[in-house]
Amino acid sequence: MVTSGCPGSASGINMQKKKQVLKYTVFKIEPGKINYRSDESWMGICATKKGISLLVLPRSTKEEVLELIKSSAGESQIEESPQDFENLRKNIENYFAGKKAEFDYTIDLSRYTPFQSAVFTATRAIPYGETRSYRWVAKKSGNPKGYRAVGQALKINSIPLLVPCHRVIEQNGKIGGFSLGIKWKERLLQLEGVLLT
């Protein structure tokens, strides 16, 4: 049984290996269909020159999201730039309102190993409203027996939704794990119309 899943934040993870300027935005979304706690409505996005590097799933306060962004930036400078994320922000709002949204944005996987990057690339190929098993992702990532390693890679995914780790479940159809808790994974899948067993 694989019990890990994506975190939706980079809490405790220094994402950046070298100093650079990272652009970010923090924004509030309407609770919509996803938030089972109405106080969780602040999100954040951060990007390097290579692409989106962090997406913080809803938290209670703006300060909490900003702190996650700062801690993930390490020694890098952060610069607020909401206009750079306007399109993605709107897609996220639509997603949480229960509308189908595609997250085909450039992402920065430079901090990950080649296997982790392959796992994220395979996971991005899972369509909205569908699920795949950890074994399926392992096979697509070039390591058919590495399904436990897939779980570990997804556990450190800092770009949920763009790398939809919530769509990866166990071979037997059970939901598997999720670092923010099973309730979050269930709600994301239900939002996409996935029937859970």
Active site residues: 165
- CA 159, CA 95: separation in Å to the nearest integer? 15
Q: Which of 190, 79, 47, 163 is nearest to 155 (CA)?
A: 163
Longest dimension (CA), the chain: 46
Write the CB contacts of 157 (distance below 8 Å, at least 6 apart in sequence): 6, 7, 120, 123, 163, 165
Q: Is 25 helix (H, G, I), strand (E, B) or coil?
A: strand
Q: Which residues of 42-77 are buried (b: 16+ CB within 10 A; e: fewer)?
A: bbbbbbbeeebbbbbbbbeeeebbbbbbeebbeebe
Give the other-Cβ count within 10 Å of 32's Cβ.
Answer: 16
- CA 116, CA 156: separation in Å to the nearest integer? 9
